[in-house]
Amino acid sequence: MKRAKKKIFADFIAQRGLKTTKQRDIILDSFLSSDRHLSIEDLYLKLRAKHPNIGYATVYRTLKLFAEAGLAREMQFGDGQTRYEHVGEGEHHDHLVCTRCGHIEEFENETIEKLQDEVANSRGFLIERHRLELYGLCSGCRK
Amino acid sequence: MKRAKKKIFADFIAQRGLKTTKQRDIILDSFLSSDRHLSIEDLYLKLRAKHPNIGYATVYRTLKLFAEAGLAREMQFGDGQTRYEHVGEGEHHDHLVCTRCGHIEEFENETIEKLQDEVANSRGFLIERHRLELYGLCSGCRK
DNA sequence: CTTTATGCAAACTATTTGCAACAAT
DNA sequence: ATTGTTGCAAATAGTTTGCATAAAG
Protein backbone atom coordinates (compact mmCIF):
# COMPACT_ATOMS: atom_id res chain seq x y z
CA MET A 1 0.00 0.00 0.00
CA LYS A 2 2.83 2.35 0.79
CA ARG A 3 4.42 0.92 -2.31
CA ALA A 4 1.30 1.61 -4.35
CA LYS A 5 1.15 5.20 -3.21
CA LYS A 6 4.77 5.74 -4.05
CA LYS A 7 3.98 4.43 -7.50
CA ILE A 8 1.11 6.86 -7.84
CA PHE A 9 3.35 9.74 -6.92
CA ALA A 10 6.13 8.61 -9.23
CA ASP A 11 3.66 8.46 -12.09
CA PHE A 12 2.28 11.85 -11.23
CA ILE A 13 5.77 13.32 -11.19
CA ALA A 14 6.70 11.73 -14.50
CA GLN A 15 3.55 12.71 -16.25
CA ARG A 16 3.97 16.32 -15.27
CA GLY A 17 7.58 16.49 -16.32
CA LEU A 18 8.68 17.12 -12.75
CA LYS A 19 11.69 15.64 -11.08
CA THR A 20 12.31 12.97 -8.52
CA THR A 21 14.36 14.33 -5.68
CA LYS A 22 15.83 13.05 -2.47
CA GLN A 23 13.63 15.46 -0.50
CA ARG A 24 10.42 14.35 -2.12
CA ASP A 25 11.26 10.74 -1.41
CA ILE A 26 12.02 11.49 2.19
CA ILE A 27 8.91 13.57 2.71
CA LEU A 28 6.62 11.08 1.04
CA ASP A 29 8.06 8.28 3.07
CA SER A 30 7.64 10.19 6.27
CA PHE A 31 4.12 11.26 5.36
CA LEU A 32 3.04 7.73 4.54
CA SER A 33 4.30 6.37 7.82
CA SER A 34 2.67 9.07 9.91
CA ASP A 35 -0.53 9.68 11.68
CA ARG A 36 -3.44 10.04 9.29
CA HIS A 37 -4.03 13.68 10.26
CA LEU A 38 -0.64 15.20 10.61
CA SER A 39 -0.11 18.92 10.85
CA ILE A 40 2.51 20.48 8.63
CA GLU A 41 4.53 21.52 11.60
CA ASP A 42 4.52 18.04 13.10
CA LEU A 43 5.65 16.54 9.85
CA TYR A 44 8.32 19.18 9.52
CA LEU A 45 9.63 18.52 13.01
CA LYS A 46 9.58 14.81 12.44
CA LEU A 47 11.57 15.28 9.27
CA ARG A 48 14.04 17.68 10.80
CA ALA A 49 14.99 15.09 13.36
CA LYS A 50 16.59 12.93 10.68
CA HIS A 51 17.20 15.50 7.99
CA PRO A 52 18.15 18.77 9.64
CA ASN A 53 18.71 20.63 6.41
CA ILE A 54 15.29 20.22 4.88
CA GLY A 55 13.44 23.49 4.45
CA TYR A 56 10.00 24.44 5.65
CA ALA A 57 9.14 25.72 2.19
CA THR A 58 9.97 22.38 0.65
CA VAL A 59 7.62 20.62 3.01
CA TYR A 60 4.81 23.01 2.14
CA ARG A 61 5.45 22.68 -1.57
CA THR A 62 5.72 18.94 -1.44
CA LEU A 63 2.53 18.46 0.54
CA LYS A 64 0.71 20.53 -2.04
CA LEU A 65 2.06 18.18 -4.66
CA PHE A 66 0.76 15.19 -2.71
CA ALA A 67 -2.63 16.81 -2.68
CA GLU A 68 -2.53 17.37 -6.42
CA ALA A 69 -1.44 13.80 -6.92
CA GLY A 70 -4.47 12.69 -4.95
CA LEU A 71 -2.51 11.21 -2.05
CA ALA A 72 -3.39 13.80 0.53
CA ARG A 73 -6.07 16.27 1.39
CA GLU A 74 -5.71 19.60 3.14
CA MET A 75 -7.83 19.89 6.26
CA GLN A 76 -8.52 22.53 8.88
CA PHE A 77 -9.95 21.70 12.25
CA GLY A 78 -10.03 25.23 13.48
CA ASP A 79 -6.88 25.20 15.62
CA GLY A 80 -4.97 27.26 13.09
CA GLN A 81 -2.95 24.26 11.96
CA THR A 82 -3.37 22.93 8.47
CA ARG A 83 -3.30 19.17 8.43
CA TYR A 84 -2.87 16.79 5.56
CA GLU A 85 -4.84 13.64 5.77
CA HIS A 86 -4.15 10.46 3.85
CA VAL A 87 -6.49 9.82 0.96
CA GLY A 88 -7.34 6.44 -0.47
CA GLU A 89 -9.10 6.23 -3.82
CA GLY A 90 -12.76 7.17 -3.77
CA GLU A 91 -12.89 6.97 -0.02
CA HIS A 92 -14.62 9.54 2.04
CA HIS A 93 -15.12 9.94 5.75
CA ASP A 94 -16.00 12.47 8.38
CA HIS A 95 -14.34 13.29 11.68
CA LEU A 96 -14.72 13.22 15.40
CA VAL A 97 -12.31 15.69 16.97
CA CYS A 98 -11.47 15.70 20.65
CA THR A 99 -11.29 19.28 21.89
CA ARG A 100 -9.19 18.27 24.85
CA CYS A 101 -6.44 16.00 23.55
CA GLY A 102 -6.73 16.73 19.85
CA HIS A 103 -7.36 13.11 18.96
CA ILE A 104 -9.07 12.69 15.59
CA GLU A 105 -11.20 9.72 14.64
CA GLU A 106 -12.84 8.96 11.33
CA PHE A 107 -16.30 7.67 10.66
CA GLU A 108 -18.62 7.04 7.78
CA ASN A 109 -22.35 7.10 7.68
CA GLU A 110 -24.31 6.33 4.55
CA THR A 111 -27.59 7.61 5.88
CA ILE A 112 -26.19 10.99 6.78
CA GLU A 113 -24.74 11.33 3.30
CA LYS A 114 -28.07 10.46 1.79
CA LEU A 115 -29.86 13.05 3.90
CA GLN A 116 -27.32 15.65 2.88
CA ASP A 117 -28.09 14.96 -0.74
CA GLU A 118 -31.76 15.40 -0.03
CA VAL A 119 -31.19 18.74 1.61
CA ALA A 120 -29.06 19.89 -1.29
CA ASN A 121 -31.59 18.74 -3.85
CA SER A 122 -34.43 20.48 -2.14
CA ARG A 123 -32.46 23.74 -2.38
CA GLY A 124 -31.29 23.23 -5.94
CA PHE A 125 -27.69 22.87 -4.80
CA LEU A 126 -25.24 20.63 -6.58
CA ILE A 127 -22.88 19.24 -3.94
CA GLU A 128 -19.22 18.91 -4.77
CA ARG A 129 -17.99 17.95 -1.35
CA HIS A 130 -18.87 18.38 2.25
CA ARG A 131 -17.35 18.44 5.65
CA LEU A 132 -18.82 17.11 8.81
CA GLU A 133 -16.96 17.35 12.06
CA LEU A 134 -18.15 16.45 15.52
CA TYR A 135 -16.25 18.23 18.28
CA GLY A 136 -16.29 17.06 21.84
CA LEU A 137 -14.57 14.80 24.33
CA CYS A 138 -13.21 11.44 23.26
CA SER A 139 -13.84 8.44 25.45
CA GLY A 140 -10.42 8.77 27.03
CA CYS A 141 -10.87 12.39 28.00
CA ARG A 142 -14.35 11.97 29.43
CA LYS A 143 -13.04 10.35 32.55
CA MET B 1 -35.39 42.06 17.30
CA LYS B 2 -32.52 44.40 16.60
CA ARG B 3 -33.71 46.20 19.69
CA ALA B 4 -33.68 42.97 21.68
CA LYS B 5 -30.14 42.17 20.65
CA LYS B 6 -28.96 45.61 21.56
CA LYS B 7 -30.48 45.04 24.95
CA ILE B 8 -28.64 41.77 25.31
CA PHE B 9 -25.36 43.44 24.48
CA ALA B 10 -26.02 46.35 26.80
CA ASP B 11 -26.72 43.93 29.63
CA PHE B 12 -23.61 41.95 28.84
CA ILE B 13 -21.52 45.11 28.88
CA ALA B 14 -23.01 46.27 32.16
CA GLN B 15 -22.69 42.97 33.90
CA ARG B 16 -19.02 42.71 33.01
CA GLY B 17 -18.23 46.22 34.11
CA LEU B 18 -17.32 47.22 30.58
CA LYS B 19 -18.19 50.47 28.91
CA THR B 20 -20.60 51.61 26.30
CA THR B 21 -18.78 53.43 23.52
CA LYS B 22 -19.68 55.13 20.31
CA GLN B 23 -17.66 52.56 18.35
CA ARG B 24 -19.40 49.58 19.92
CA ASP B 25 -22.78 51.08 19.13
CA ILE B 26 -21.82 51.73 15.55
CA ILE B 27 -20.33 48.29 15.03
CA LEU B 28 -23.24 46.49 16.61
CA ASP B 29 -25.69 48.45 14.54
CA SER B 30 -23.80 47.71 11.38
CA PHE B 31 -23.43 44.04 12.26
CA LEU B 32 -27.11 43.64 12.99
CA SER B 33 -28.12 45.14 9.70
CA SER B 34 -25.72 43.05 7.65
CA ASP B 35 -25.67 39.79 5.84
CA ARG B 36 -25.91 36.85 8.21
CA HIS B 37 -22.41 35.62 7.34
CA LEU B 38 -20.29 38.69 7.04
CA SER B 39 -16.53 38.54 6.88
CA ILE B 40 -14.57 40.81 9.20
CA GLU B 41 -13.10 42.64 6.27
CA ASP B 42 -16.49 43.26 4.69
CA LEU B 43 -17.82 44.63 7.91
CA TYR B 44 -14.75 46.77 8.36
CA LEU B 45 -15.07 48.22 4.87
CA LYS B 46 -18.74 48.84 5.33
CA LEU B 47 -17.99 50.67 8.56
CA ARG B 48 -15.13 52.67 7.12
CA ALA B 49 -17.45 54.12 4.52
CA LYS B 50 -19.33 56.06 7.17
CA HIS B 51 -16.77 56.15 9.94
CA PRO B 52 -13.33 56.51 8.37
CA ASN B 53 -11.49 56.67 11.64
CA ILE B 54 -12.59 53.37 13.12
CA GLY B 55 -9.70 50.97 13.62
CA TYR B 56 -9.37 47.40 12.37
CA ALA B 57 -8.37 46.27 15.84
CA THR B 58 -11.53 47.69 17.32
CA VAL B 59 -13.63 45.73 14.87
CA TYR B 60 -11.81 42.52 15.77
CA ARG B 61 -12.12 43.16 19.46
CA THR B 62 -15.75 44.14 19.25
CA LEU B 63 -16.75 41.11 17.22
CA LYS B 64 -15.13 38.91 19.82
CA LEU B 65 -17.24 40.64 22.40
CA PHE B 66 -20.36 39.94 20.37
CA ALA B 67 -19.40 36.30 20.32
CA GLU B 68 -18.94 36.26 24.09
CA ALA B 69 -22.25 37.98 24.50
CA GLY B 70 -23.83 35.23 22.46
CA LEU B 71 -24.86 37.45 19.57
CA ALA B 72 -22.39 36.14 17.04
CA ARG B 73 -20.45 33.05 16.20
CA GLU B 74 -17.06 32.82 14.53
CA MET B 75 -17.07 30.71 11.39
CA GLN B 76 -14.54 29.58 8.83
CA PHE B 77 -15.53 28.38 5.42
CA GLY B 78 -12.04 27.71 4.25
CA ASP B 79 -11.43 30.83 2.19
CA GLY B 80 -9.12 32.33 4.75
CA GLN B 81 -11.76 34.81 5.87
CA THR B 82 -13.23 34.59 9.31
CA ARG B 83 -16.91 35.33 9.27
CA TYR B 84 -19.23 36.15 12.11
CA GLU B 85 -22.72 34.80 11.81
CA HIS B 86 -25.75 36.02 13.65
CA VAL B 87 -26.88 33.82 16.49
CA GLY B 88 -30.39 33.57 17.86
CA GLU B 89 -30.95 31.88 21.21
CA GLY B 90 -30.60 28.13 21.20
CA GLU B 91 -30.76 27.99 17.45
CA HIS B 92 -28.46 25.82 15.44
CA HIS B 93 -28.11 25.30 11.74
CA ASP B 94 -25.72 24.02 9.15
CA HIS B 95 -24.59 25.55 5.87
CA LEU B 96 -24.70 25.21 2.14
CA VAL B 97 -21.83 27.17 0.63
CA CYS B 98 -21.62 28.01 -3.05
CA THR B 99 -18.04 27.58 -4.25
CA ARG B 100 -18.63 29.86 -7.19
CA CYS B 101 -20.40 32.94 -5.90
CA GLY B 102 -19.78 32.51 -2.19
CA HIS B 103 -23.48 32.51 -1.35
CA ILE B 104 -24.22 30.87 1.99
CA GLU B 105 -27.54 29.28 2.89
CA GLU B 106 -28.60 27.77 6.17
CA PHE B 107 -30.48 24.57 6.81
CA GLU B 108 -31.54 22.39 9.67
CA ASN B 109 -32.12 18.69 9.73
CA GLU B 110 -33.25 16.88 12.84
CA THR B 111 -32.54 13.43 11.50
CA ILE B 112 -28.94 14.23 10.65
CA GLU B 113 -28.42 15.58 14.15
CA LYS B 114 -29.85 12.43 15.61
CA LEU B 115 -27.59 10.24 13.51
CA GLN B 116 -24.59 12.29 14.57
CA ASP B 117 -25.44 11.61 18.18
CA GLU B 118 -25.63 7.92 17.45
CA VAL B 119 -22.24 7.92 15.83
CA ALA B 120 -20.75 9.79 18.75
CA ASN B 121 -22.34 7.49 21.28
CA SER B 122 -21.10 4.40 19.54
CA ARG B 123 -17.55 5.77 19.85
CA GLY B 124 -17.90 6.96 23.40
CA PHE B 125 -17.62 10.59 22.30
CA LEU B 126 -19.41 13.37 24.10
CA ILE B 127 -20.34 15.95 21.47
CA GLU B 128 -20.08 19.61 22.35
CA ARG B 129 -20.78 21.01 18.92
CA HIS B 130 -20.47 20.12 15.32
CA ARG B 131 -20.11 21.64 11.94
CA LEU B 132 -21.64 20.45 8.74
CA GLU B 133 -21.05 22.27 5.51
CA LEU B 134 -22.09 21.27 2.05
CA TYR B 135 -19.98 22.86 -0.68
CA GLY B 136 -21.09 23.05 -4.27
CA LEU B 137 -23.00 25.16 -6.75
CA CYS B 138 -26.07 27.05 -5.71
CA SER B 139 -29.11 26.97 -7.92
CA GLY B 140 -28.20 30.28 -9.51
CA CYS B 141 -24.67 29.23 -10.42
CA ARG B 142 -25.67 25.88 -11.88
CA LYS B 143 -27.03 27.47 -15.02
C1' DC C 1 23.12 21.71 -21.06
C1' DT C 2 18.42 22.73 -19.78
C1' DT C 3 14.99 22.75 -16.62
C1' DT C 4 13.17 22.00 -12.24
C1' DA C 5 13.94 21.89 -7.10
C1' DT C 6 15.92 23.49 -2.86
C1' DG C 7 16.94 26.47 1.09
C1' DC C 8 17.00 30.67 2.81
C1' DA C 9 15.25 35.03 3.77
C1' DA C 10 12.01 38.31 2.69
C1' DA C 11 7.11 39.06 1.70
C1' DC C 12 2.39 38.33 2.69
C1' DT C 13 -2.17 37.71 5.03
C1' DA C 14 -5.01 37.50 8.84
C1' DT C 15 -5.07 38.47 13.49
C1' DT C 16 -3.39 40.07 18.05
C1' DT C 17 -1.05 43.03 21.25
C1' DG C 18 1.49 47.08 23.61
C1' DC C 19 0.90 51.51 24.57
C1' DA C 20 -0.03 56.44 24.91
C1' DA C 21 -3.90 59.31 24.27
C1' DC C 22 -8.80 59.38 25.16
C1' DA C 23 -13.57 58.63 26.71
C1' DA C 24 -16.96 56.63 29.90
C1' DT C 25 -18.30 55.99 34.51
C1' DA D 1 -10.31 60.37 39.46
C1' DT D 2 -10.37 55.78 37.87
C1' DT D 3 -10.76 52.28 34.76
C1' DG D 4 -11.72 50.61 30.35
C1' DT D 5 -11.30 51.72 25.19
C1' DT D 6 -9.39 53.32 20.96
C1' DG D 7 -6.24 53.74 17.07
C1' DC D 8 -2.06 53.16 15.59
C1' DA D 9 1.97 50.66 14.70
C1' DA D 10 4.57 46.83 15.76
C1' DA D 11 4.40 41.87 16.71
C1' DT D 12 2.94 37.27 15.65
C1' DA D 13 1.64 32.91 13.24
C1' DG D 14 1.07 30.42 9.29
C1' DT D 15 2.08 30.27 4.62
C1' DT D 16 3.99 31.76 0.12
C1' DT D 17 7.41 33.66 -2.98
C1' DG D 18 11.88 35.49 -5.19
C1' DC D 19 16.16 34.22 -6.15
C1' DA D 20 20.76 32.34 -6.42
C1' DT D 21 22.63 27.76 -6.06
C1' DA D 22 22.25 22.84 -6.65
C1' DA D 23 20.50 18.63 -8.58
C1' DA D 24 17.87 15.84 -12.02
C1' DG D 25 17.00 14.53 -16.57
- Give tens-digit pLDDT for B108-136: 999 999 999 999 999 999 999 999 999 99
Q: What is the pLDDT of residue B66?
A: 98
Chain B: closest CA distance from residue A83 (Å): 13
Q: What is the pLDDT of residue B143?
A: 87
Residues A107 and A133 occupy one common structural domain: yes
Report the share of chain B in percent with pLDDT over 70.
100
Contact A87, A94 (CB under 8 A): no
- Give tens-digit pLDDT for B5-36: 999 999 999 999 999 999 999 999 999 999 99
CATH of the domain at B43: 1.10.10.10
Q: What is the pLDDT of residue A91?
A: 84
Q: What is the mean pLDDT of residues B41-58?
A: 96
How far is the C-alpha of A47 from the C-alpha of A125, rounded, in Å?
42
Pairs of residues, one from chain A and one from chain B, whose beta carbons lie less than 8 Å apart: 106
Inter-chain CB proximity A125 and B105 less than 8 Å: yes
Q: What is the pLDDT of residue A109?
A: 97
Per the model's pLDDT, the better-predicted residue between B21 and B92 turns out to be B21
pLDDT band for position A69 (cuts 50, 70, 90): very high
CATH of the domain at A113: 3.30.1490.190
Is the CB of residue B129 less than 8 Å away from at least one CB of chain A? yes
Q: What is the mean pLDDT of residues A110-129?
A: 97
Residues B13 and B49 occupy one common structural domain: yes
Residues B49 and B82 occupy one common structural domain: yes
Q: Say whether pLDDT at B88 is over 90.
A: no
Residues A76 and A109 occupy one common structural domain: no
- Domain boundary residue among A45, A66, A86? A86
pLDDT band for position B91 (cuts 50, 70, 90): confident
Choose among A124, A125, A136: nearest Cβ to B120.
A136
Which chain A residues have a beta carbon less than 8 Å from that of B112?
112, 115-116
Residues B105 and B131 occupy one common structural domain: yes
The mean predicted confidence, pLDDT, of chain B is 95
In A, minimum Cα distance to B75 occurs at A78
Q: What is the mean pLDDT of residues A40-67?
A: 96
Q: What is the pLDDT of residue A26?
A: 98
Q: What is the largest CA-CA distance in chain A?
A: 54
Residues A109 and A79 occupy one common structural domain: no
Please give the C-alpha separations between residue A117 and each of A87, A98, A126, A130, in angstroms, as whole numbers: 22, 27, 9, 10
Footprint of strand C on the protein (CB under 7 A): A 13, 17-19, 21, 23-24, 53-58, 61-62; B 19-22, 40-41, 56-57, 60-61, 64, 80-82
Q: How many independent structural domains does chain B possess?
A: 2
pLDDT band for position A1 (cuts 50, 70, 90): confident
| Domain containing residue A110 | 94-142
Q: What is the pLDDT of residue A78?
A: 87
- Domain boundary residue among A86, A108, A134? A86
Is the CB of residue A101 less than 8 Å away from at least one CB of chain B? no
- Give tens-digit pLDDT for A107-117: 999 999 999 99
Distance of alpha carbon A97 from the chain centroid? 14
Residues B12 and B72 occupy one common structural domain: yes
